Structure 1
């Protein structure tokens, strides 16, 4: 008998849709290296590593803004681009709740903190939208 995987629902825990491993980059890397990491990993954001874990996040929008304003991507560092106010989810948070928190915080990517405090994964607005806007069966 074949089994099918149930489609995640808004009340399901976000651990069902998180993506791991999470792309990350040291704070001193150039904006160009951030862009290369985004392309290589086919992701929309990377976490910026500090000595005790993530200290920020850089999205593709941050890189495009730097480029559009004439910044030198080889001189600008990840630390210069990153947003430092990380909004975290827990693996057991509901997908719908995470979507609301993303909207309230005006973020498109939310790291998920595991039980040990380490990064368990990341979810994007597209990940939650895929759940919230899924066609009814």
Structure 2
């Protein structure tokens, strides 16, 4: 099974200078928990709802002054559209991440989430990635 068979398509990438309030609105409107972040057309990070809660709100930062760059997780890892699903799952396990941007020809084409794997892959693979990603750090 390939990543393209399981991922959800149509993910959006925002610029790293996007105000954090705009990022949060985009997440709410798209009903997603993570958005990849780019700078000069390159994937440079990913911002999650947890990043916003822990790195902005909980720290008492001035939300009107923050951008995606200020709270994103840097050095986002991604996978390719044509990768074997098992290879993408290994990345998720080793990095303990729940969402993985999917690239094709240098462009973002979708996201692979823990939920995508759980709903479309077999039980053994789903259980394996869930156990690895969900364990305490």
Shorter-chain TM range is 0.7 to 0.9
Contact 1:46 1:57 in 2 (8 A): yes
For 1:93, what is the secondary structure of its paired residue?
coil
Shift of 1:14: 0.8
CA distance in 1, matches of 2:33, 2:21: 14
Match of 1:17 in 2: 6
For 1:119, what is the secondary structure of its paired residue?
strand
Shift of 1:132: 4.1
Task: Return 5+ residue gaps in structure 2 as ranges.
Answer: 127-137
TM-score in terms of structure 1 length: 0.80
Match of 1:9 in 2: none
For 1:48, what is the secondary structure of its paired residue?
strand
- What whole-Å deviation, never above 9, does each CA across 1:29-87 have from its counterpart, x for those lacking one? 22111111110111111111211232211011101112122122221110011122121
Match of 1:92 in 2: 82
Aligned residues: 122
Match of 2:48 in 1: 59
CA distance in 1, matches of 2:61, 2:115: 28
Give the counterpart of 2:107 among 114, 118, 127. 118
Shift of 1:91: 1.6
Give the ranges of 4+ consecutive aligned residues of structure 1 lying more than 3 Å apart after TM superposition. Answer: none
Higher helix share: 2
TM-score in terms of structure 2 length: 0.80
Match of 2:64 in 1: 74
Cα root mean square deviation, aligned: 1.6
Task: Return 5+ residue gaps in structure 1 as ranges.
Answer: 1-11
Give the counterpart of 1:26 among 15, 18, 23. 15
Give the counterpart of 2:37 among 42, 48, 57. 48
